Amino acid sequence: MIFWTLVVDGVVNGAIYALLAIGLVLVFVVTRVILLPQGVYMSFAALTLSQFQRGNVPGTAGLLLALGLAAFVIDLLRSRVTRAWLMRRVASDLALPAIMYALVTWLVPLRPNMAIQIVLTLALITPLGPYLYRLAFQPLEQASVLTLLIASVGVHIALTVLGLVFFGPEGFLANPLSSAHFEAAGIVISGQSAIMVAVSLVIMVLLWLLFDRTLIGKAMRAVAVNRVGARLVGIPISQAGEITFALASFIGAVSGVLIAPVSMVYYDTGFLIGLIGFVAAIIGGMGSYPLAVAGAIFVGLLQSFAAFWNSNYQQVVVFTTLIPILLLRSLRAPAVEEDE
Amino acid sequence: MKGATARWQAGGLAILALVVPLTPLVPEFWVTLLILIGLASLTALGLVVLTGMGGMTSFGQAAFVGFAAYTTGLLSTTYGLSPWLGLPAALVVTGLAACALGAITMRLSGHYLPLGTLAWGISIFYIFGNSAFLGGQTGMTGIPPLRLGSFSLIGPRSYYILVWLAVVLSLVATINLLDSRVGRAFRALRNNAIAAEAFGVLTARAKLIVFVYAALLAGVAGWLYAHFQRTLSASAFGAEANIDYLLMAIVGGVGQVFGALLGAGIVIVLKDLLQDMLGRLGMFQDLVFGIMLVGILQYSRDGIWPLLSSWLPPTTPRSIDPAADIERPARAPATSSGPLLALDKARKTFGGLVAVDDVSFNVGHAETVALIGPNGAGKSTLFNLITGVRRASSGRVSFDSASIERLSPQMIARRGIARTFQHVRLVPELSVLENVALGAHTRGHAGVASAVLRLDRAEERRLFAHAARRLERVGLAKEMFRPAGHLSLGQMRLVEVARALCLDPRLLLLDEPAAGLRAAEKKALAKLLRELKGEGMSILVVEHDVDFVMGLADRIVVLDFGKKIAEGLPQEIRVNPLVIEAYLGGVE
């Protein structure tokens, strides 16, 4: 009995880890950035949703304005300004955040229903990704994986502080997405859990369609396989980076919406959950989506059983498992250095 | 000698700066800050050696600070031992932990390595925080101070002496270590592990040594920290601390030892200032740090120290004593009358692709053989099979009648096979001379201890004299003290030849040595290779420049799609229809 309850728990957690893992793999293969802030998107989304439900305008709306402006100004200094460029950037960096900000401040006091809250949350969090890419990572496009990882640490620290400023040190729990309960073979499964697993599956299918069936998706795969080659056939690498970061922040926001009702989320909760998603992504070798999902389910199960055994040591178990897996991975990786 | 005086002045100033805080001129608060800077710079110094020199980034250094701090804390509280005994105990525990963790993580390649350190860094943090015997969540209290006789080192000024003594000693030890035979091997690890292996460096062992050395520096810091704070809590050894150490190393400059000091100073002073300035908004300090980290990576990737170091007096180049050169102790004479190198149906497959397809040929004593073939013919793979970088799927490679196809690159180097690389593999920050001296790695014996204590100077003089002479032979004596990264591509290729000669090889493998050389340089190289052959060296050369090859080689072997399609004298190869077809395409 307990066994199956733990399994269900593990799979539900695994679904969240799988979303995070997919976001991480996606960003890594296209841009080579190991995106530690992936978990922050999750916290931000969960807390933004909770703020909506309490009738407050979340700080993330202001953050969107600020990051949009910063990205605009910095790009203005760096790029060759053409009319078309200006039109596009004014729309994406200034108009979009302004509209979102106005929309949020107007709607929040009216207490809109859950669906609108969720849409607003996703719309607030998703654009953060591309702005951050342009501010922090695009100038480092040619840098090594290690340099990018350190930059990612920098972005992560900064965002975590902002999380504290916006949401304070308290944790929040959002209203459940569904209050239904099912019972199958004596195990109670909540509607919330079912939604979590179902939404994760839908996102995975959508991503598969994107990468397998659309030109943009194929272009991004080309960048992932060979950056120089992709550039030579005319795929703009930076644009692929922006799109990838947008997808990652969208996925992060979805996982935040899913987790907000089941787990108390603090401003820094995302770090640990992101890291666990990370473990899952690494089990998948940072390159394969199905393996990352399998890794996520494995980690979810491992954690659920480890927590039952000794809750103090559950993280130790999860992170220590990573080491033999890394070892196995790197033994299978080519031993010879690649030529630049 | 002007440089020398300037350096004495700089040294004098540094000593003065170290002594001033002992006087009441500096308020105690600042002395405490200086102690924290000293402690952090010990750990950051380890990170500089590990990352900047060895090319391995660790997100887990704080764990080693923790191992040492908890060891001495536990021994001096629960077991009531003298805190002084805590130092060796702490270092033993830290060293063992580093050996165990390093043995696992140092095998990880590429970005898996920093991720691995991140993983155990977090695990160990949770173990510290959840272990009852280490005080659990509340931490460990009542750790006794260090005592000298009846005098307790409690006040910041007395502790300052101890901390900065440790910092200065660690700096000296690290500088000595980096300027030594093992140090050069460490510095080749970052981008040139294959080159290091080709000259006999046991890279896996070298990585582990660097890792343990960095951990021990963190261990010293941990011991000092425990008896200074006298309470311990796990939060000091968690992710945040790890990020701080990394920040210090990056801000200061991960390429130079003084970068650690500078970085620790900047970060700790900034933290303090920000706390004062922001007051209640102290949490914003990490926002500043995060943005600073990204900004430094974008605008000055080598940190701040390089910007400052241009103001310092230049170091005087080391003196070379030509008499110190060890004359080549004759390699063991050939044990057989057969060919020096023999390939017998050597084969290498990558999945379904046959890169080298049952290739057989010989290189005789004092013979020059050229290997030619279109791009992708398998020439470089063949080189990798001979030098042990890759293992043949089947077939035999024998050197002086002994089979070598199962040997490691290091063992093959020791037998007397030296090589150059198609894509130049030098350490750009090191001088040309130091790069060449790496080739003489197997001729030295000095290890870490003698490097740190400077007992290796006589051997170093010999190695450098040896290297300088090889540089003269390739005509680059003038460039000896320039950083290798400043040379032209053609010169770099010649440096690689000099490095290979440093091994005193019996067989020299040259991978496209003439690419990027000017006409005069090519002529000089051809002359040198003829001389070497005259001295009895065998040479196997891959080259695209047909004129160069025709004038030089005794025999030519032609590869195409992994297969040997022809072998013979240069004038035969020139008219061979198969070769012409392979190079120019079929004639209808």
The chain A residue lying nearest B381, using CA atoms, is A336
Write out chain B residues lying below 8 Å of A333, CB-based: 109-110, 112
Please give, rounded to a whole number of angstroms, the shortest distance from the CA of B213 to a CA of chain A. 21
Question: In CATH, which of 3.40.50, 3.40.1350, 3.10.420, 1.10.3470 is domain A2-53+129-331?
Answer: 1.10.3470
User: Bridge-partner residues for B368, per DSSP?
Assistant: B539
Beta partners for B568? Answer: B556
Q: Please state the rounded mean pLDDT for residues A259-263.
A: 87
* Rg value, chain B, Cα: 28
Cα–Cα distance, A124 to A105 (Å, whole number): 12
Distance CA B56, CA B107 (A): 11
Range of the domain at B105: 30-236
Among B residues 466-505, those touching chain A with beta carbons less than 8 Å apart: none
B292 touches chain A (CB under 8 A): yes
Q: Which residues of A touch B191 (CB under 8 A)?
A: 337
Rg of chain A, C-alpha, whole Å: 20
Per-residue pLDDT band for A308 (boundaries 50, 70, 90) equals confident
Return the higher-pLDDT residue of A266 and A223: A266
* Contact at CB, B290 and A158, closer than 8 angstroms: yes
Residue B520: CB partners within 8 Å, gap ≥ 6? none
**Residues of chain B contacting residue A161, judged by C-beta atoms under 8 Å apart:** 283-284, 286-287, 290
Pair of tokens at residue A111? 């207490």
Residues of A in contact with B127 (CB under 8 A): 313, 316
Angle between helices A237-259 and A114-125 (to 10 degrees): 150
What pLDDT is attached to residue B328? 57
Nearest alpha carbon to residue B559 among B384, B374, B354, B363: B374
Task: Report yes or no: A154 at the B interface, CB cutoff 8 Å.
Answer: yes
Residue B349 belongs to some domain of the structure: no
Tell me whether A305 touches chain B (CB under 8 Å).
no
Q: Is A142 helix (H, G, I), strand (E, B) or coil?
A: coil
Domain total in chain B: 2
**A146: closest chain B residue by CA:** B111
Asked if the C-beta of A339 comes within 8 angstroms of chain B's C-beta atoms, the answer is yes
Write the DSSP assignment of B79-126 as a string of letters: S---HHHHHHHHHHHHHHHHHHHHHHHTT--TTHHHHHHHHHHHHHHH
Q: Which residues are within 8 A (CB) of A49 and not within 5 positions of it... i.e. 6 or more apart?
A: A117, A118, A121, A174, A256, A257, A260
From B151's Cα to the closest Cα of chain A, the distance in A is: 42
Phi/psi zone of residue B279: left (φ > 0), alpha (ψ -120 to 50 degrees), beta? left
Question: Which residue does chain A place closest to B246, by CA atoms?
Answer: A150
Q: For residue B142, which of B195, B74, B220, B91 has the smallest C-alpha distance? A: B74
Give the N- to C-terminal CA distance of chain B in Å, as an integer: 73
Q: Residue A316's closest chain B neighbor by CA?
A: B123
Query: Which residue from A111, A76, A113, A110 is spatially nearest to A93, judged by alpha carbons?
Result: A76
Which of B236, B252, B273 is at the close of a domain?
Answer: B236
H or E element: which one contains A187? strand A187-190
Q: Which residue of A146, A150, A323 is in closest CB contact with B104?
A: A323
Diameter of chain A measured on Cα atoms: 66
Q: Is B111 on the interface with A (CB under 8 A)?
A: yes
**Sequence-separated (6 or more) residues with CB below 8 Å from residue A215:** none
Q: Please state whether beta strands B341-350 and B353-363 pair in parallel, antiparallel, or not at all (unpaired).
A: antiparallel
> CA of A21 to nearest chain B CA: how many angstroms apart?
15
Residues of chain A positioned with their CB less than 8 A from the CB of B297: 140, 143, 147, 150-151, 154
Cα distance between residue A18 and residue A15, in whole Å: 5
Cβ proximity of A261 and A176 under 8 Å: yes
- Interface check for B239 against chain A (CB to CB < 8 A): the answer is yes
Is the confidence metric ipTM above 0.90 for this complex?
no
Judge: B423–A149 Cβ closer than 8 Å, yes or no: no
Say if the Cβ atoms of A154 and B297 lie within 8 Å: yes
Q: Residue B180 falls within a domain, yes or no?
A: yes
Looking at beta carbons, which residues of chain A come within 8 Å of B122?
275, 315, 319
Quote the tokens at residue B478: 């003038």
What residue ranges do the domains of chain A occupy? 2-53+129-331
In angstroms, the separation between the Cα of residue A268 and the nearest Cα of chain B is: 12
In angstroms, the separation between the Cα of residue A96 and the nearest Cα of chain B is 24
Q: B537 is written with which tokens?
A: 């060296």
In a domain, B354, yes or no: no
Question: pLDDT digit of tens for each residue in chain B (588 aa)?
Answer: 455 677 777 788 888 888 888 888 888 888 999 999 999 999 999 999 998 888 888 888 999 999 999 999 999 998 989 999 999 999 999 999 999 999 888 877 666 778 788 888 888 998 898 888 888 778 898 899 998 888 888 888 889 999 999 999 999 999 999 999 999 999 998 878 888 999 989 988 999 999 999 999 999 999 999 999 999 998 889 888 888 898 898 888 888 889 999 999 998 998 888 777 766 666 777 888 888 888 888 887 788 888 887 777 666 667 777 777 765 555 555 556 778 999 999 999 888 888 888 999 999 999 999 998 888 788 888 999 999 988 888 999 999 888 998 899 999 999 999 999 988 899 988 899 999 999 999 888 888 999 999 998 889 999 999 999 999 999 888 988 999 989 988 899 999 999 999 998 999 999 999 888 888 888 889 999 999 999 889 999 998 888 888 889 999 999 888 888 889 998 888 888 888 887 766 554
Query: Taking CB atoms and an 8 Å limit, are A330 and B107 in contact across chains?
Result: yes
CB contact under 8 A, B126 and A323: no
Which chain B residue shows the shortest CA-CA distance from A158? B287
Query: Which member of B284, B289, B294 has the closest CB to residue A136?
Result: B294
Nearest chain B Cα to A151, which residue?
Answer: B294
* Cβ atoms of residues A196 and A210 within 8 Å: no
CA distance B91 to B223: 9
The residue among A152, A275, A299, A316 with the most chain B CBs within 10 A of its CB, best to mutate, is A316
Which of B109, B239, B298 minimises the CB distance to A330?
Answer: B109
Of B481, B503, B525, which residue is a domain's last?
B503
Residue B541, in any domain of the structure = no
Which of A140, A326, A329 has the CB atom closest to B298's CB atom? A140
Instruction: List CB contacts of A321: < 8 A, sequence separation 6 or more.
Output: A279, A299, A302
Token pair in block for residue B573: 């190869």
B298 to chain A nearest CA, in Å? 6
Instruction: Supply the angle between the helices A145-167 and B239-252 in degrees, to the nearest 10.
Output: 130
Give the domain-ending residue among B503, B523, B554: B503
Compute the distance between CA of residue A290 and CA of residue A294 in angstroms, rounded to an integer.
6
How do residues B113-169 score in pLDDT, each as one tens digit?
787 888 888 889 988 988 888 887 788 988 999 988 888 888 888 899 999 999 999
In a domain, B570, yes or no: no
Tell me which residue of B250, B257, B245, B249 sits closest to B300, measured CA to CA: B250
At B335-358, the pLDDT tens digits run: 567 789 999 999 998 888 888 889
Predicted confidence at residue B426, as pLDDT, reads 92
Query: Which of B114, B384, B389 minimises the CB distance to A146?
Result: B114
| Residues of chain A found within 8 Å of residue B111, distances taken between Cβ atoms | 34, 145-146, 149, 286
Of A145, A322, A336, which is closest to B111 when you measure between CB atoms?
Answer: A145
Among A158, A330, A335, beta carbon nearest to B112: A330
Res B7: pLDDT: 73
Cα-to-chain-centroid distance, residue B334? 35
H or E segment to which residue B233 belongs:
none
